Structure 1
Amino acid sequence: MIKETFYVKYMKRFLDIILSGLALIVLSPVYLVVAILVRIKLGSPVIFIQKRPGKDNKIFNMYKFRTMTDKRDEQGNLLPDDERLTSFGKILRSTSLDELPELWNIFKGDMSIVGPRPQLVKDEWFMSDTEKKRHLVLPGLTGWAQVNGRNAISWEKKFEYDLYYIQNISFLLDVKIILKTVGKVFTKSDISSEGFETAEDYGDYLLRTNKISEAEYNDVLRRN
C-alpha cells in the first residue's frame, strides 16, 4: 500500500531528525517562556503526557504543553474538557504552541513531521481494518487531514485524507503540507469541531451520530 521510494525509506526520517533537532535548538527560548507561563497559570506538571498508538500500533508517550486544569467534581472525577480548558490553554491550542514538545517525539523516532495525527489508544478499538492502515506509517505533527479541515471535518473525511496520504507520500506532498500548515497556524483556522471547545474523540463521535450503540461504546471503555 505504501510506495517504498528512496524518500520514504531514507530521506523522510533523515529530514525529520535534522529539522526537529534544529527546531528544538532554535525554539528553546520559546519552550522556556511557555513552560514558565504554564507553570504559573496551570501549575505542575508543565508537560502533558499521553499514550498514543504509533507506527505498527506501537504505543508511545506523546508530549504536549499542558492546557487544562485538574478540576474535579465532588466524586473526584475530572470535569469535562471544556470546563477544564482555560483561556490561556485556548491560546496555546489556537497558536499550536501546545504541540511544540512533540518535536522531541519526532527527533527520537516516535513521530514524523508529516503523517496522520496520532489518535487516542481507545480510538483504535472503534476503527475498521481499513482505517487502521493509517498506522502503517509514523504519525505526524501535521498531516493531509489537518491542512484540509483539521477538526472542522468529519472523522470519515479525516480517515479518507489519512489513507490518501499514506498511498501518496512524497517529498513534494510533505512540503505542500508543511507550507499549508504554517498558513493554518497563522490564521488559527479549524481548531475545534463545531459546537465543541476541544476536538471530539472518535468514539464519542460514533456514539453521538448513532453509528455505534451505547453498549458497544461502554464495552470499549471497559477494555481501556
Structure 2
Amino acid sequence: MSIRIQIYDVVKRGIDIFGAGTGLVVLSPVIGAVALVVRAKLGSPVLFKQDRPGRNGKIFTLYKFRSMLDVDETKNLVNDEDRLTSFGRVLRSTSVDELPSLLNVLRGDMSLVGPRPLLVSYLQRYTPEQSRRHEVRPGVTGLAQVRGRNAISWDEKFRFDVEYVDSCSFFLDVQIIVKTCFAVLRRQGITQADHVTTAKFGEENDA
C-alpha cells in the first residue's frame, strides 16, 4: 500500500466516524421504525448477525436488518427464495437493511466505502490477488456495487475490489457514495439471474 493511501486511511477513519455517527443520529427515526416493522413481519431477532472477515482477514460481527424468515422445514421454508418475503425484498432493494452496519463503521470494523465484507468460508477460495481486497476495511458500499452490484460476476467484483485498494482516495469515495445513491434509487443490480440476490462464490463455476 502506497504512502499516499496510508495517509488517506487516517483521514478516512475520521470521515467514517463523523459520517456513521451523523447517519445514526439523523436516521434514528427511520431505524427505529424499520426495527418495529421487521419485528412485526419477520419476528425476533430484528437484527441479522453474522461473522465476516474484515481488514487483514480479522473476523468481526456484521449487523444488518433481518430480511428473511427462519428456516422451517414444516412450512417448506428452506431455500433463500422461499424465506425472502416481499417485505424483505423491499428492504434489500432499497438497502435499508444495511443501516445497522453504520454501527460497524463507528466501531472500526468497516468503512463507509470499501470492498463488501463476504462470507468467512470464502477466505480459502481467493487467489492471492483476490485476497488483496482485505488490505483495507470492508465497506457499506464499494466500487463493485456501483459497477453492477449483484448483476456482475465474482471475477469482476474482485477485480473492482482490488482496483479500489490500489486507487482509493477522497474523491473516489465521494463518487462511489453519490453513484450508490443513484443506484439505490434506480434499484439497479439487486439480483443475479436465477437467484434472489447472487450465487455464492464458486457456485457460478459449478453451474
Tell whether the structures are fold-level matches, with TM greater than 0.5: yes
Q: Secondary structure at the match of 1:145?
A: helix
Structural mapping, 1:69-80, within 5 Å: 69-73=69-73, 79-80=78-79
Residues 11-160 of structure 1: pairs in structure 2 closer than 5 A: 11-73=11-73, 79-160=78-159
CA distance in 2, matches of 1:185, 1:32: 21
Alpha-carbon distance in 1 for matches of 2:9, 2:187: 33
How far off its partner does 1:7 sit? 4.7
Q: Is the 8 A contact 1:3 1:168 kept in 2?
A: no
Aligned counterparts of 1:182 and 1:92: Cα–Cα separation in 2: 15
Q: 1:42-91 CA deviation, whole Å, 9 max, x = no partner?
A: 000000001000000000000000000013225x9960111100000000
Aligned counterparts, 1:149-188, within 5 A: 149-188=148-187
TM-score calculated relative to the size of structure 2: 0.95
Q: Which residue of 2 aligns with 1:219?
A: none
Q: Which amino acid aligns with 1:137?
A: V
Name the SS for the 2:202 alignment partner: helix
Indicate conservation of the 8 Å contact 1:123/1:201, yes or no: no
Corresponding residue SS for 1:194:
coil
- The DSSP-based 3-state class of the residue aligned with 1:202 is coil
Whichever residue aligns with residue 87 of structure 1, its letter is: S
Matched AA of 1:9 = D
What percentage of aligned pairs have identical amino acids?
49
Tell me the TM-score normalised to structure 1 length: 0.88
Q: Per-residue deviation at 1:194? A: 1.4
Kindly provide the amino acid, as one letter, of the partner of residue 159 in structure 2. Answer: E
CA offsets 1:15-66 (integer angstroms, 9 cap, x no match): 0000100000000000110000000000000000010000000000000000
Residue identity in the other structure for 1:185: V
- Secondary structure of 1:38's partner? helix
Confirm or deny: 8 A CA contact 2:76 2:82 kept in the other structure.
no
Task: Give the distance between the partners of 2:202 and 2:124, measured in 1 at CA.
Answer: 9
What is the number of residues matched between the two proteins?
A: 207
Secondary structure of the residue that 2:72 maps to in structure 1? coil
Query: What SS class does the counterpart of residue 113 from structure 1 fall into?
Result: strand
Counterpart residue number, 1:221: none
Cα distance between partner residues in 2 of 1:119 and 1:141: 11
What does residue 222 of structure 1 align with? none
SS of structure 2 residue aligned to 1:51: strand
Shift of 1:129: 1.2
1:116-171 deviation line (CA, Å, top 9, x unaligned):
00010111121111101100100000000000001011100000100100000111
Q: Give the distance between the partners of 2:16 and 2:151, measured in 1 at CA.
A: 27
Write the distance in 2 (CA, Å) between the matches of 1:107 and 1:22: 10
Segments of structure 2 that go 5 or more residues without pairing to the other structure are none
In structure 2, distance between residues paired with 1:134 and 1:34: 31
TM-aligned CA distance change 1:160 to 1:38, over 3 Å: same
Counterpart Cα distance in 2 of 1:32 and 1:71: 25
- Unaligned residue ranges in structure 1 (runs of 5+): 209-224
Over the aligned positions, Cα root-mean-square deviation in angstroms equals 1.6
1:214 aligns with none
The runs of at least 4 consecutive aligned structure 1 residues that moved more than 3 Å come to: 1-7
